Chains A and B, each alone.
Chain A
């Protein structure tokens, strides 16, 4: 025997009747949504009830307006203008307007909510009480920024450059002098907004003055150059910190740019963020092939070029330059706990993420497949390191020694700390005065006392800095020297925590 159930007939609650002539409802739906398909008959019930009272229901369809055939106000919203205006993230969404302003909304199908919004009882009695909606097309991949550019105010302040008709945007970037010689990703407003999603900092925030022109650089300008360099949004905290670190007075970015030497800023990343964004610290660490390494280092170079105005042949007076001027960025290999990382040795927590900027000309490899004792390996290194610039060059020279995995194992097995390796090397890198390169200035930089005896020993890094890091692939007995001019009081390595 069938149980008799009382089916409620949709009706308007008496108390709401006087309000209807002033009311408009908007429904935002898409055909490709099962919940919208369920809701269409309910929307028809609503229109039938409110139309005689002067109310209006506008049905906006995101994909195919024929889905709303038969409604008095079926509207094509394939351009998503209305969906964006009301910031719809789920369909169906039912919005009640009062004097043109949103007054209430229901999202998905929830009978109680729809009844509360419409003031109509007994809606969709043959439907379940609740069905979640589907994602609005405004939330499709990349669509939020696309719509923000199309309909919103992005708040970005940079000049808009129109690519001439029939021209290619990449070529426009070349013609305007924005590139380092390689193609750049055209910095559209959409791409810049996406990259800015990677930072909570305001696009208008000035992060420093970029040499040589000492022009103020905003987060927005960094983001534009980051897009051009190929960055993903999640690189932005590293990129911004790298630019800020390079502007620290101790680093002397103007000098690094302007010198006749080949050096350029090297970006080294320590801590969890390097792993989180997929930076390379292992095989081919200083080479090509890793997007984060390549794009972060390149962004710093493009910021100096485009914002600071530092270009080769102008303020950049380098005789040879270096391929590292395209990009030189990597993560230190922190995997083996037997040595602490560079950042930890400076006092940062292993959980901190940092950017270190130091000057570098490129790399010189040291190859030693034979040595199995740490003393022997240090002697091999010392011969190579001593040759930086000139075997007798002791003033204004500095270096980072990147020890490869197989070499590091020699030191681990002998129980040598990184500090001990450094101590051993500095001891081996003492040069008799008689062998110090006089240069054109005689022995300037040495004290009278030092010069008094030709056998006096002068440290190779007399006023420079010497540091040891770990990087590189696991197979092969190699290490690498990244050398540069500069030193204490001139061009020094700097480190800044990423926050």
Chain B
């Protein structure tokens, strides 16, 4: 059997590589989201950040997904996007 033409087994979509957003020159006046992926001890890290940011007068909002093995639902991601200027995510223990 001729094997000179193969069918592509991939999704045929190059991974979207997006440039990182520019860092803000200042976080003054920004609302900062703290996103806990529910991995162990992520909350300890984010609690401390919350204290430090709040003490400096920043607006902080907290978010948490159900379990770290599951993807964050789109609704949650949209909520964070609509309510915050910046987000800090605790990725792993």
Give the interface of A toward B (CB within 8 A): 142, 146, 156, 158-163, 169, 172-173, 178, 186-192, 210-211, 213, 215-217, 220-221, 224-225, 228, 249, 252, 254-256, 259, 302, 306-309, 439-441, 444, 486, 489-491
Decide: A158 and B5 in contact? CB cutoff 8 A.
no
CA of A87 to CA of B66 in the docked complex: distance in angstroms?
58
**Contact flags (1/0) for B9-32 with A, using CB distance below 8 Å?**
111110100000000000000000
Contact among B4, B8, B15, B71 for A309, CB-based, below 8 A: B15
Q: Hey, which chain B residues are within 8 Å of A191, CB to CB?
A: 1
Decide: A161 and B69 in contact? CB cutoff 8 A.
no
Q: Hey, which chain B residues are within 8 Å of A216, CB to CB?
A: 11
Decide: B68 and A440 in contact? CB cutoff 8 A.
no
Give the interface of B toward A (CB within 8 A): 1-13, 15, 40-41, 66-71, 93
Contact among A160, A302, A309, A486 for B69, CB-based, below 8 A: A486
- Looking at chain A's contact residues, the main secondary structure is mixed
CA of A309 to CA of B11 in the docked complex: distance in angstroms?
8
Decide: B69 and A490 in contact? CB cutoff 8 A.
yes
CA of A192 to CA of B69 in the docked complex: distance in angstroms?
34
Contact among A173, A188, A221 for B2, CB-based, below 8 A: A188
Decide: A187 and B11 in contact? CB cutoff 8 A.
no
Q: Hey, which chain B residues are within 8 Å of A190, CB to CB?
A: 1
Contact among A221, A302, A309, A441 for B40, CB-based, below 8 A: A441
Decide: A162 and B69 in contact? CB cutoff 8 A.
no
User: In this complex, what residue of A is CB-closest to B71?
Assistant: A254
CA of A188 to CA of B3 in the docked complex: distance in angstroms?
6
CA of A15 to CA of B58 in the docked complex: distance in angstroms?
100
Q: Hey, which chain A residues are within 8 Å of B3, CB to CB?
A: 163, 169, 186, 188
Contact among B1, B5, B41 for A162, CB-based, below 8 A: B5
CA of A187 to CA of B41 in the docked complex: distance in angstroms?
46
User: In this complex, what residue of A is CB-closest to B69?
Assistant: A255
CA of A176 to CA of B12 in the docked complex: distance in angstroms?
12
CA of A142 to CA of B5 in the docked complex: distance in angstroms?
17
Q: Hey, which chain B residues are within 8 Å of A439, CB to CB?
A: 40
Q: Hey, which chain B residues are within 8 Å of A142, CB to CB?
A: 1
Contact among B2, B10, B71 for A306, CB-based, below 8 A: B10
Decide: B70 and A161 in contact? CB cutoff 8 A.
no
* B8, B12, B40, B71 interface centre (most CB from chain A within 10 Å): B8
Contact among A187, A309, A440, A441 for B6, CB-based, below 8 A: A187
Decide: A160 and B5 in contact? CB cutoff 8 A.
yes
CA of A146 to CA of B93 in the docked complex: distance in angstroms?
54
* A159, A162, A189, A217 interface centre (most CB from chain B within 10 Å): A159
Decide: A156 and B69 in contact? CB cutoff 8 A.
no
Decide: B93 and A249 in contact? CB cutoff 8 A.
no
CA of A306 to CA of B9 in the docked complex: distance in angstroms?
6
CA of A188 to CA of B10 in the docked complex: distance in angstroms?
14
Decide: B7 and A162 in contact? CB cutoff 8 A.
no
CA of A191 to CA of B7 in the docked complex: distance in angstroms?
10
Contacts A190-B1, A440-B93 given: A173-B6 contact, CB under 8 Å?
Answer: yes
User: In this complex, what residue of A is CB-closest to B7?
Assistant: A158
User: In this complex, what residue of B is CB-closest to A445?
Assistant: B40
| Chain B nearest CB, measured from A233 CB (Å) | 16
| Chain B nearest CB, measured from A91 CB (Å) | 24
Decide: A159 and B11 in contact? CB cutoff 8 A.
no
Closest 3 CB pairs of A and B: A255-B69, A215-B11, A169-B3
Q: Hey, which chain A residues are within 8 Å of B6, CB to CB?
A: 160-161, 163, 169, 172-173, 186-188
Contacts A252-B69, A255-B68, A490-B69 given: A221-B11 contact, CB under 8 Å?
Answer: yes
Q: Hey, which chain A residues are within 8 Å of B71, CB to CB?
A: 211, 254
Decide: B2 and A307 in contact? CB cutoff 8 A.
no
User: In this complex, what residue of B is CB-closest to A251?
Assistant: B69
* B3, B12, B40 interface centre (most CB from chain A within 10 Å): B3
| Chain B nearest CB, measured from A105 CB (Å) | 31
Q: Hey, which chain B residues are within 8 Å of A178, CB to CB?
A: 9-10
Decide: B7 and A156 in contact? CB cutoff 8 A.
yes
Decide: A188 and B69 in contact? CB cutoff 8 A.
no
Decide: B7 and A213 in contact? CB cutoff 8 A.
no
User: In this complex, what residue of B is CB-closest to A254?
Assistant: B71
- A sample of 7 inter-chain contacts (CB < 8 A) reads A158-B8, A158-B12, A187-B9, A188-B2, A210-B11, A213-B11, A307-B11
CA of A192 to CA of B7 in the docked complex: distance in angstroms?
8
Q: Hey, which chain A residues are within 8 Å of B93, CB to CB?
A: 440-441
Decide: B13 and A213 in contact? CB cutoff 8 A.
yes
Decide: B10 and A491 in contact? CB cutoff 8 A.
no
